[in-house]
């Protein structure tokens, strides 16, 4: 599932989960699959899955409850600050990927 695009695996997984949350296929209150389960689904190591979940936790999209699972937060309040940091993260990523693509293209002249 995780592709070799130069985009690190833990961010690809975070992106995908974020997409599912934004898209509603993972609704507020829903639990994410367990980290072990996610590792299987994405064919990734447990470590990168933990990193991915950590990103979403930092972004405030998700709350982990020890012993239970990781749950999608209510998207209500955290409007601007979190959104902004997420957007900035996305912008940073796009810039990096663009730079990579551009350099690849220039090499092929």
Partner DNA sequence: CAAGCCAACTAGGTTAACTATGTTGCACAG
Partner DNA sequence: CTGTGCAACATAGTTAACCTAGTTGGCTTG
21: three-class secondary structure by DSSP: helix
Helix (H) / strand (E) containing 65: strand 62-65
Is residue 70 within the footprint of DNA (CB under 7 A)? yes
**Residue with smaller CB distance to its own copies, 24 or 37:** 24
Q: How far is the C-alpha of 109 from the C-alpha of 98, rounded, in Å?
A: 16
Cα dihedral 56, 54, 20, 76 sign? negative
Q: How far is the CB of 59 from its own copies (least distance, A)?
A: 5
* Residue whose CB is less far from DNA, 64 or 78: 64
User: Within positions 1 to 40, which residues make up the interface with its own copies, using CB under 8 A?
Assistant: 4-5
**What is the contact surface with DNA in residues (CB under 7 A)?**
8-11, 32-37, 44-48, 50-51, 53-54, 57, 63-70
């Amino acid at each position: 599932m995780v592709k070799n695009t130069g985009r690190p695996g833990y961010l690809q997984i975070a992106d995908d989960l974020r997409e599912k949350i934004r898209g509603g296929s993972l609704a507020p209150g829903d639990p994410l699959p367990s980290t072990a389960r996610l590792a299987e689904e994405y064919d990734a190591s447990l470590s990168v899955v933990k990193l991915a979940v950590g990103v979403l936790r930092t972004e405030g999209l998700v709350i982990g409850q020890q012993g239970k699972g990781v749950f999608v937060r209510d998207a209500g309040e955290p409007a601007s600050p979190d959104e902004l940091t997420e957007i900035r993260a996305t912008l940073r990523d796009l810039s990096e990927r663009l730079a990579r693509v551009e350099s690849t293209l220039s090499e092929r002249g």
